[in-house]
Structure formats: C-alpha cells, structure tokens
Chains A and B, each alone.
Chain A
Amino acid sequence: MAALAASELRFHYPNSDQPALDSVSFSIEEGQFAALLGPNGAGKTTLVHLIAGLLRADTGSLELFGQPLSSRAARRLIGFCPQELALYSTLSATENLSFFGKLAGLTGGELRSRIAAVLEAVRLTDQANHRVERYSGGMKRRLNLAIAILAEPKLLILDEPTVGVDAQSRLAIFEALEAQHSAGTTVLYTTHYMEEVERMCREVIVIDHGRLLAQGPTEEIATIGANNTLHLELEGDAATIAAELVAAGHAAKVVGEGEVALGGRDLARELEAMEGLAKRGLLRSFRTRRPTLEERFLELTGEELRDA
C-alpha cells in the first residue's frame, strides 16, 4: 500500500507566473525511508507543505494511506518537522511537547509516557524542564524532531532536520529516526546533505523547477545513466588527450596529473575510445569509479547557482 500517493500535483503561488510545482506524480510505499532532493527553489518545501496540508494544490490529488489528504483522519497520520526551529523558547521541552501532543490528540497518561519516550529518544530527558531558550542549537534540533515523532505518526515528514547541528546531535537525530523507521513509520526526508541520504534513505525523489526529475532506489538513482566514470591514467599530455576526446563527442575532463575522467551515457563508445588510446600507447592503466549521489544529483539538476 502506498503511504503517500501524489498525482499530477500542480501549484503556483499568487503573483507568480511560473508554477512552483508542475504535474508532479510519485508514490512512496508504506515503511519506506525516502529522500526528497532538489536545489534551492526547486519546489521541495512547497511539495512538503502540500503533503503536510499547509497548502492546497491547484490541481491533482494527494492520498495518505489510501485516504484523501483533506480528511482529518489522514492529517492525524502526519508528523511534521519543519526546517525552522518551531519551538516556544520561553517554554520548557516538556511544555512544548505537552502543547503539541495535546493538539495531536494525546492526553493524560498516554501523553506523559510518549513525552518521556521521545525525550529519551532524542536524549533530552535531563534537560526536559529547562526553558528552550537555554538550549544549544543541537538540542533545539533534537526537540524539533521529538515533537514530530511524539504522536507516533505513520508518515513522518522532515524538512532539513539537521541544519547547523554538530556531529553528536546529528548522530542522535539519525538514531532516533532510524528507530522510528524500524517501528514502521514511513519517512519523507528533505536535505541537502547527500551523505545523509546515502546513509538512511532507500528511495530518492529528485525535483527541480517544480518538476519531477527522477524517482527510484537510492543505489539506482546514483548509478544509472551518466558518470560511468572511467579514470584513465595516461602517457602524454592529459589536457591534449582530454580535448581530443571532447572533440570526439565524449564527456572528458582532466582530474589529476596525467589523469582524465571519461564519462557519458554510452559505455560502448567510451570503451571504444579507451581502446583507441591503448592502441596508440597512451593508456597506462584505467579504473572504474562509482559515481556519488551528489555527482548524479548535480548531473540531474545542473551546476549553475540557484541564487534567485
């Protein structure tokens, strides 16, 4: 069963000519740990806000566990961790959790036991009654997550939950998330840190300019297609050889002294080019290199800056 199914989602902000999302369709299976990736301004936050029920799509539909998102029952299934530190700084962690827990429908003993559990999960039990204004950035991030997982949501949406935290707090957040995922929660995770995606996410959705660019298992997204990089160790001037390869229609660039990376979408042609170099006595050795998710991401979304 799909935990989240989006179909032909379209949304544009008032006073904007370009749609923020344009015909976006995807689905995430129940129990999945999925990453939503895209450069700044790609439409990630808009999509997350649509899923969290904060915005309403112009057209298209969203279903959570088979129920339309607009229903109150569906909204109860969501846990949301916004990008901002959405906390009341003059209240303690317990008071923040108690407030949001009550909004989620928790009461009495159940509320108290859940508060204790999530405080333990994010390692804030000792600081539970201190005002949040005294917390470090990492502690606030952990509390931000604790509120999101408080009501044991079936779908947990996280919008860049580890921005600006130290390694220790990041580890605590990962562990809490992995525990939550192991307990059966479906997770939709938005981040700019590819190593986090590679560590935790089994599924990747890439969007840019409001359009879906790719969706699939993390391994596949990282390896399918381009950047079958062959690293060639050459005899002679690497720059001249790289220029020659580029002129022949290959993606090639110097990556070190006497080294050229040869990439592209057609492996047969690349092997042919390599064979040609070997015949000319220019190839000393070669090795293949698995592309990183970041390289694949940059290939999909381009390298130009997104300042606007």
Chain B
Amino acid sequence: MSPFTSLGTLCAKEALVLVRDRQALLLLFAMPALFVLILSLALEDIYNEKVGSSLPVALQVEDSGEFANRLVTTLKKRGEFRLVEADGSQSPEELLQSGVARAWIRVPAGFSQDAGDYLSSYGREPFGEYKLEWRASPLLDAPYRWSLRSGLSLVVLETILDSLVDPRGEFPDLERGADLFLSESESDTTPLPTPLQQTVPGWSLFAMFFIVVPLSAGLFRERTEGTLTRILVYPVPRSAVLLSKVIPYLLVGALQFACMLAVGVFVVPLFSDMSLQLGDNALVLLPITLACALAATSYALLVASLSKTAEQAAAFGATSVIILAMLGGVMIPHFAMPATLQQVALVSPLYWGHQAYLDAFLNGAGLAQVALPIGVLLLFATASLSVAALRLRR
C-alpha cells in the first residue's frame, strides 16, 4: 500500500468520524453562522452611525401652515435624514422609543403662525409658544447629536431665507453654498468594513481555530482508546498519520468560510438591507482561507500535543482561541482598539487572517498585497506543526 493510499484511507476515516460527531458539527458550523447573523444585524446601526449614513427620524407634523410645509420639504431633501413613516400602529414618538427612529421631530400646530409673526417683526417680537421640538435617542453618539442639531438649524435657516428672500421659489441650498468655501481632502486610511465584512471573516476564523476542541478530543480519544496504537502497527508512515489530521480539517476550514460567506451573501440580506461586498478580487479569498485553515489546524495539533489530557486540551484550546480572537479583531474591530493593543494584536494569527480578508474586501487586494499576512500564517503553521510532530512522535 502506497503512502498516498494510506493517507487517503486515514483522511476518509477522519472525515467520517467528524461527520458522525453532531456536536462538533454544531460547534464548527452552526455556532459561527449564528454569530455572523446576529452580530451583523446588531452592529448595523453602530456601523451606520460611524460611516454617517442617513439617520432614521420620526417626523410628527401637526401644523399645515406654509412655513411648516416648507420646513418639511427642506428636511426631506437633506441626505443625513431618512424620514420614518408611522404606520398607524405606532405614533412617531413611539417609533423613537422602540428604536425604529433615532430622533423625533415635532412640528406643533401654530408653528407656522408663530414663525411668520416672528419673521414679519424682523425678530423684534419674541417667538411664540409653538417651537419646533426635537429629541434624540439616548443611544445616539454625542457627535451625531450635534450633527442632528446643526442639520436642523440649517433646515430652519433655509426655510427662513426661503420665506424672506424668494417667496415664489427656493433659496439656494445653504450647505452647497458653504461648500464653495470649503474643501475636504480624501482620507488615505483604509475605509471601515461593513458589519458583514467585519463579522464574516472574523467568525469564520474563530470557527476555524475552534477546531482545536474536536481535533484534540479526537486525537486524545485515539491515544487513550488505542486506535492510534493500532494504526501505527500497520506499515503506515507516521507523517501520513499527522497529515491525515491536517488535510480533512483544512477542507473543513474552507467549508466553514464558504458557509459563513453564504450566510453573509444570502441569509443576512433576508433580515436587513446589508449584503456582503467581496471586493474586486474574490479569488484571492481562496489562498487566504487555505492559509488560515492550515494555521488553525496546526494550532489545534500544537495544543493537543502539548496537553496531557483531553480536558486540558479542550479548556486551554477554547480559552486561548477566544483570547486570540479578541486580540485579532474578531470581537472588537482592530481599528477600534487602542494603539498599544493594536501592536499586541500582531501576535495573534487571527489578526493576520482577518487583515488579509479585510484587505481583499475593502481594497480589492491581490495575492501580492496579501502575501505578508499569508506568509505569517504559513510560518505560524510550519512552526506549530513542527513542534506538534516532534511531540506526537513520542
């Protein structure tokens, strides 16, 4: 029997044993898929606030006067607001309380009258009792609250100028006017990932490295139950035995990423407006995934080889993967970490994998651009496998 045939037989057995292990399958596939789904949806609003997409605003208009109509028209034109309509089951104020809207604006009956009186007195008379009322969600970041206030001020100013200067038409957009005086230069930093771009590779990596639990448990079971001893009686190269642990889990890692990708592309859009953008060079995801899966499998073998019991391997393996995932930017995005922690993150193989994926998603990186993280992952895998092979030979 050739070494390759032995390897094939060993790999097939490993795959069959894994397929029969429902708990392991749930751990490796269902858990990260749920994480991707739940966390992507949970992060959607936070992400939208970070990138400045339109803020959902519940508008409660009780005044049908001209000034109120002009104000509503101006408000609708502004990009930073997205007006949320009440469907009858909830009042606009309740939309704010339930979290559907992040701000609530009320135009009270009598507002047009009071505003008209005030303007016709050229500000000499005090403003009446019916003012534009607004309230922001307590969850809204302070900068965004300021942005909302300044946006509303602009709306009021434009409406005032509209009324005063050109009663028949519209006053030129104040903000566009201001843009004549201002110039914002392009940021040269990497754009922020969307929640899906953050969670899909992040939790795929987490799942890949979590194979430390079933792999080490399986390896210890083989050692204690004597099946490994029995295998070694046959004329099978020991390298084939070690490789038979690597190859099936390498494929499992690739399959895990494919599943998370499918969740991002097909499942999450069923619940939200988000969809996963893969970047311009999706083919590069394959070598990245294989490098990540190899690093993960090697790490699992390293942990199994250094542990004395299956329980020790599972406990240390799971805990260390959680820590490496935290450092690697899976749970807290790397860009949101303080500078010191960003440096510490370099020790985590999950960081290199995550960065490679983000580079592909956000910058359309090719193989040359992700060569460094792939190289680091392969180096990590080689070192881990070497130590594991030495330890397992005993």
What residues make up the interface of A, taking CB atoms closer than 8 Å to B? 49, 52-54, 72, 75-76, 78, 80, 82-91, 95, 99-100, 102-105, 131, 147
Contact = CB atoms under 8 A, between A and B. Distances in A.
Counting chain A CB atoms within 10 Å of each CB, the highest count among B17, B21, B234 belongs to B234
Nearest to A72: B235
B13 A99 contact: yes
Contact of B17 (A49, A91, A100): A91
Nearest to A99: B13
Given A99-B13, A103-B1, A53 B233 contact: yes
A80 B230 contact: yes
B343 interface: no
The list of the 7 closest CB pairs from A to B, nearest first, reads A84-B226, A86-B226, A90-B20, A86-B230, A103-B234, A102-B9, A72-B235
B268 to A, nearest CB: 34
6 contacts: A82-B230, A84-B226, A86-B227, A86-B230, A91-B13, A99-B12
Contacts of A87: 225, 227
A83 B6 CA distance: 24
Nearest to A74: B235
Contacts of A84: 224-226, 229
Nearest to B231: A103
Nearest to A81: B230
B306 interface: no
Q: Is the interface of B mostly helix, strand, loop or mixed?
A: helix
B232 interface: yes
A80 B9 contact: no
Counting chain B CB atoms within 10 Å of each CB, the highest count among A52, A89, A103, A131 belongs to A103
Nearest to B240: A103
A88 to B, nearest CB: 6
Contact of A78 (B5, B17, B21, B233): B233
Given A83-B226, A147-B230, 6 more contacts: A49-B229, A53-B233, A54-B233, A84-B226, A86-B225, A104-B1
Given A54-B232, A75-B233, A82 B16 contact: no
Contact of B225 (A52, A85, A102): A85
B236 interface: yes
Interface in B117-171: none
B230 A75 contact: no
A95 B229 contact: no
A90 B225 CA distance: 13
Contacts of A102: 1, 5, 9
Contacts of B21: 90
B233 A85 contact: no
A84 B232 CA distance: 14
A104 B234 contact: yes
A54 B235 contact: no
Nearest to A102: B9
A282 B13 CA distance: 73
Contact of B230 (A89, A91, A100, A105): A100
Counting chain B CB atoms within 10 Å of each CB, the highest count among A53, A83, A100 belongs to A100
A87 B226 CA distance: 8
A245 to B, nearest CB: 50
A76 B234 CA distance: 7
Contact of B229 (A82, A99, A100, A105): A82
A100 B10 CA distance: 9
Counting chain A CB atoms within 10 Å of each CB, the highest count among B16, B226, B233, B235 belongs to B233
A102 B227 CA distance: 15
A49 B229 CA distance: 9
A92 B5 CA distance: 22
Contacts of B10: 103
A147 B16 CA distance: 18
Nearest to B227: A86
Contact of B233 (A52, A72, A88, A105): A52
Nearest to A106: B1
Nearest to B18: A90
Contact of A90 (B17, B229, B233): B17
B229 A91 contact: no
A67 to B, nearest CB: 13
A102 B16 CA distance: 15
A103 B240 CA distance: 11
A88 B17 contact: yes
Interface string B1-43: 1000110011011001100110000000000000000000000
A117 B21 CA distance: 30
Given A54-B233, A80-B230, A95-B16, A103 B225 contact: no
A80 B233 contact: yes
Contacts of B13: 88, 91, 99
B226 A82 contact: yes
B217 to A, nearest CB: 12
